[in-house]
Structure 1
Amino acid sequence: MKIHKRYISALVALLFAVPVMAQVPAPAAKQSKPMLFKGATLHIGNGQVIENAAVGFDKGKITYAGPQSGANLSGYEVIDVTGQHIYPGLIQPNATLGLNEVESVRATIDWREVGEMNPNVRSVIAYNTDSDIIPTVRANGVLMTQLTPVGGTISGSSSIVQLDAWNWEDAIVKADEGIHLNWPSMLIETGNSRNDERLKRMGEEREKTMLEMEKLFRDAAVYKSGKQSNENLKLSSMVGLFDGSKKLYIHANYGKELIEGINFAKKQGVKDIVVVGARDAVAVVDFLKANNVAVIYSGVHALPSRAEEDVDMPYKTPYLLHKAGVPFALDYDLAIHGIRNLPFIAGTAAAYGLDKEQALAAVSLNTAKILGVDKQVGSVEVGKDATLVVSTGDLLDMRTNNVTYAFIQGRNVDLNNKQKYLYEKFENKYKAQQQQVPASATSAAGN
């Protein structure tokens, strides 16, 4: 059978082109010269907006952020972005990005350890900087994440990383900043006698878990005092909980579980508590405020928890938390492929009560404060890392979000990704097919 040379050439080109184009872009080189963007609307991240602004940065740090009229352009490479918007890079908390690639392929999943009590597990050492998903997230303005282990009762420690690095060591912004505790679910009696025995067994198991957890915290407190001479990795990893150098992230949703978990942590002497998930946060908002507990809210695009709740409750919970004065941030739960939609859940919150700049803060500066990295990132201010994005439209609106530049620590990040490549590939394919349709066929179809 004869094969036309044209098809052989096309096949060879495809074999060479696909692997190259589908690769994760290489990390950007360090900033080599001062840069300044002028003419944009600047959304600082702290609620302030400056029209016709300028942002300059050098050696990875912001040197100027304010009105264009006050900027010194001398020595800077000036880029005119008139009509566009400058935002701080968005931060996704509570994520397994880089720890989980393809859920149906076990070898690509590295987000949990065997066992129930693993405070010494470090999620960051399993971080895969070559994940295909990371570039798709950056393209929508999400430039940092909190690597969070899952599973068991105490999953391990999380770390904050930036999303443009050769390896996990280069990616670290703040290592091992908190321990994650999945609060044991409370049992609800159903009145069904067939479930009595099962509920009894579950209750006994929960009681056992609570006792083990209490013992571990008590032992860690003793270990901190220096009364144990032998090194214990599990206990040493928890020492920071008692002096405030580490946070305790309690994952729970039900209101009574939130109260129970916070009371437990305070009883053990934990200094800094954050609740994650917190679907019932509004129901216990006074308790959260009284105990100075921050919230990482995961349910903006979820259904209401109960049939009798307002269908809009998940959308307006961020506004209600803000109104009550509870520190909060938003996350896209653990669905890694959805993290690119982080700006749009903030946009939903803005449509249901939050001011647009408050919504932006909920995925930037508020998150940075809760995670303890606000001195470095979270807002476009002088002295902070030049981790920012430029968009032709509103970053929080799915219709207008179009990131044209992204910088991480002053490095110009490549915004190409596998999804863009596939989009362009098939767009070109169908355009070519349309051009090949004879004019007679088009007119016949019209008739």
Structure 2
Amino acid sequence: MNLIYNSVETTYKMRKAALLFAALLTGATAWAQVPVPAAKQTKAVAVTGATLHVGNGQVVEKATVAFENGKITYAGPASGFKAAGTAYETINAAGKHIYPGLIQPNSQIGLVEIESVRATLDQQEVGLLNPNVRSVVAYNTDSDIVPTLRNNGVLLAQVTPVGGLISGSSSVVQLDAWNWEDAVVKADGGLHLRWPAMLQSGDTSPAAAQRKQARQQGLQELETLLADASVYKQQAREKENLKLASLTGLFDGSKKLFLHVNYGKEMVEAVRFAQKAGIKNMVIVGGADALVVSDFLKENNIPVIYSGVHALPARAGDDVYLPYKMPGLLHQAGILFCLDYDASLHGTRNLPFIAGTAVAFGLPKEQALASVSYNAAKILGVEDKVGSIEVGKEATLVVSEGDLLDMRTNKVSHAFIQGRQLNLTDKQQYLYQKFNGKYNQGE
């Protein structure tokens, strides 16, 4: 009898220990999970005493930014702020800086998690012409990468598909949501065309002949598809054609065509091709040679998403610092542009620092901020909601202890999306705390 009792007691203790271990393990790993999205704003908030960087070039010293129900109600000098009977939760940000939430264009954030694991890749569809593909429906709000962006001030992204000639449509999302429907700021605002590269003159090899034939065939198919789409709305039909229906917004201006192209001659060719098809709004993505054709871009009112700040020069004779100088040169040329961090997906959190590099090579600091906030919002068509800190816009902003564009002083203490205060923890912080504790034992 005692043997049975002892056996039951031992089993009970073992199970209790196992449950305790499991609870501790769960508690430890919970730190490494993506934080729960913030609840809807219920109390008015006033961030006061900081230097306000509006995002459109304006700077206000000793400012106050107030917001209620997710909208900015005041943004200006602290001396001019009046509560007018509203009970505000006050955040003292004296000595700090307030910035609009930064925007990463042309990103596969939430579509790619681990590049070597096929099951985590959802950024590309098979085939050459996929205008009906909607990248936003594949956006993963539980991505481990997203919180690392928010901690550096990047609060919005353009989720963009890749592959083929027409990759599909992109959407702008905010980076704190339970699902893609909650995340959407602007759905399906643009289609992405990856312009086929021209062939080098003088290459008479069989492989070059095949590439030329494939290029011409692809462009002919594209021309036919756009021609069919331009008259699709006027045609009587029994069944909807998803490919043609997804293209019709290009002809009435409700959608933009994002032309992924770098070489100067190819930019001109791509723009003229689109204009001939009747497309109204275009954006160059990449734009390595944008300065070479700057007059053409200005004449046709075409903005640029410049992707190569942290890159090598394209040609052997180029200034070695040309990619760093390019944002400043585009600004001097009067071209509307924004910056895209495309070196690696996991490095997207470095978006503010490429703007900082541009400052070091001639771009005015507030224009550098605009290149990752207000200008990006204008190019993506969401400037009425985000991109700058102005009354009536969404309260999507960050508070940093130092210069947000400087990797030495970028330290975000508060971040808000639509007035909701974010939990600024991420997997990188968890790993730092874990191994910092491990290697400092016994000190």
TM-score range, shorter chain: over 0.9
Match of 1:126 in 2: 138
Match of 2:216 in 1: 207
Match of 2:129 in 1: 117
Match of 1:88 in 2: 100
Match of 2:28 in 1: 18
Question: Is 1:383–2:392 an aligned residue pair?
Answer: yes
Q: Which amino acid aligns with 1:303?
A: L
Is there any run of 5+ residues in structure 1 with no aligned partner, and where? 436-447
Match of 1:150 in 2: 162
Match of 2:422 in 1: 413
**Aligned with residue 56 of structure 1, among 50, 61, 66:** 66
Alignment of 1:159-170 (within 5 A): 159-170=171-182
Question: Is 1:137–2:149 an aligned residue pair?
Answer: yes
Aligned partner of residue 223 in structure 1, secondary structure: coil
Match of 1:99 in 2: 111
**2: CA distance between counterparts of 1:226 and 1:410?**
45
**2: CA distance between counterparts of 1:9 and 1:265?**
63
Alignment of 1:282-431 (within 5 A): 282-333=291-342, 335-431=344-440
What is the RMSD of the two structures over their aligned residues, measured on CA atoms?
Answer: 1.7
Question: Is 1:27–2:37 an aligned residue pair?
Answer: yes
Residue by residue, what CA displacement relative to the aligned partner does 1:178-227 show, whole Å, maximum 9, x if unpaired?
00000011111465x6xx11100111111100100000000001103335
**1: CA distance between counterparts of 2:104 and 2:219?**
30
**2: CA distance between counterparts of 1:13 and 1:317?**
53
Q: Which amino acid aligns with 2:397?
A: L
Quick check: 1:122–1:156 contact (8 Å CA) kept in 2? yes
Match of 2:190 in 1: 178
**1: CA distance between counterparts of 2:43 and 2:243?**
45
Shift in alpha-carbon separation, 1:227–1:327, aligned structure 2, 3 A: farther
Residue by residue, what CA displacement relative to the aligned partner does 1:385-405 show, whole Å, maximum 9, x if unpaired?
000000000000000000000
Aligned partner of residue 307 in structure 1, secondary structure: coil
Quick check: 1:98–1:134 contact (8 Å CA) kept in 2? yes
Match of 2:6 in 1: none
Q: Which amino acid aligns with 1:104?
A: S
Quick check: 1:275–1:293 contact (8 Å CA) kept in 2? yes
**2: CA distance between counterparts of 1:80 and 1:169?**
34
Q: Which amino acid aligns with 1:28?
A: A
**2: CA distance between counterparts of 1:66 and 1:263?**
44
**1: CA distance between counterparts of 2:33 and 2:309?**
33
Aligned partner of residue 242 in structure 1, secondary structure: helix
Match of 1:265 in 2: 274
**2: CA distance between counterparts of 1:39 and 1:46?**
20
Aligned length: 426
Aligned partner of residue 304 in structure 2, secondary structure: strand
Quick check: 2:288–2:307 contact (8 Å CA) kept in 1? yes
**1: CA distance between counterparts of 2:133 and 2:143?**
21
Distance apart, 1:270 and its partner CA = 0.4
**1: CA distance between counterparts of 2:132 and 2:161?**
11
Match of 1:78 in 2: 90
The range that moved more, 326-335 or 19-28, is 326-335
Q: Which amino acid aligns with 1:43?
A: H
Distance apart, 1:312 and its partner CA = 0.8
Q: Which amino acid aligns with 1:243?
A: D
Aligned partner of residue 231 in structure 2, secondary structure: helix
Q: Which amino acid aligns with 1:133?
A: I
Shift in alpha-carbon separation, 1:351–1:282, aligned structure 2, 3 A: same
Q: Which amino acid aligns with 2:399?
A: V
**2: CA distance between counterparts of 1:190 and 1:340?**
43
**1: CA distance between counterparts of 2:127 and 2:19?**
54
Distance apart, 1:120 and its partner CA = 0.4
Quick check: 1:277–1:333 contact (8 Å CA) kept in 2? no
Quick check: 2:72–2:389 contact (8 Å CA) kept in 1? yes
- Percent of aligned positions that are identical: 62
**2: CA distance between counterparts of 1:190 and 1:399?**
50
Match of 1:274 in 2: 283
Is there any run of 5+ residues in structure 2 with no aligned partner, and where? 1-13
Aligned partner of residue 177 in structure 1, secondary structure: strand
Alignment of 1:208-247 (within 5 A): 208-226=217-235, 228=237, 230-247=239-256
Quick check: 1:37–1:78 contact (8 Å CA) kept in 2? yes
**2: CA distance between counterparts of 1:34 and 1:19?**
34
Aligned partner of residue 293 in structure 2, secondary structure: helix
Distance apart, 1:13 and its partner CA = 6.7
TM-score (norm 1): 0.93
Aligned partner of residue 322 in structure 1, secondary structure: helix
Residue by residue, what CA displacement relative to the aligned partner does 1:97-146 show, whole Å, maximum 9, x if unpaired?
00000001000000011111000000000000000000001000000000
**1: CA distance between counterparts of 2:27 and 2:294?**
55
